[in-house]
Structure 1
């Protein structure tokens, strides 16, 4: 499945994306709201897993590229989360993104996220989509707000992070299909 916006294309992974993904995940600025930068091997393993999930499900984490130049911008899409993740007591769909720093501040994250929300609500008929990030990650929270998501006010300590980490406390945003449709 390929999604398009005026400026972007969200498409399946190809082997040529791996080097760009590695570079993005090694960038300290990009990874400042993650516990650490990823090694090349960690990035390759992640890319393979994300590529397989997208291929099997028909949805997942797409590669985002500039529509006409085909430049790698980052990744954005939906992830299936389970109750075992320790975030919600039920399974849910999370919208997530990671863009290369050179593409920040151009509205690419919200533009691509809008396309993914449309796909989630119109084609997958998902009832609600969530997003989460560290409380200190204000740029991602602004994207969540821009695409119509609302803060659930259910802040939590991420179960996979050290409780003393500045990244430990997270916020949880949500948009329902009904809320999304009301803004169209």
Structure 2
């Protein structure tokens, strides 16, 4: 998780400790009322919900960053920018190298505004780990966006891309 996510969780926990201290200092703990338990449980549910929401948002953000757009001789990623491929270079090898080097930062590279590149394929990676040993996602042909092709390994992606395995 990003540093900002940990900061938000730390603030929520600090607020909980502060509220608990205020509860004791104002002597609400001596009042015998079942609402106390309800308020406490509701607050901890809010904290747990916020932690889950942060985790899911971070997971979705990382999946968006792992999306690669392919054109003949080019690869574009929102973090790394445009990468030109040498003739004969394996696209799958290049994608694996780029995915392994992602920092998942908030600094995103922009596609040049004067670009006339027409992307032909999009590789959406849902899982990537162990430098490509775990690699799942889908390949989408821009001409047929309604027919994504799922892959569960580097080998399957290479087959879908028409590269030698």
Structures share a fold, TM > 0.5?
Answer: no
Structure of greater Rg:
2
TM-score by length of 1: 0.22
Task: Indicate the structure with greater strand content.
Answer: 1
Taking structure 2 as the reference length, the TM-score comes to 0.23
Q: Which has the higher contact order (CA 8 A, sep 6+)?
A: 1
More helix, by proportion: 2
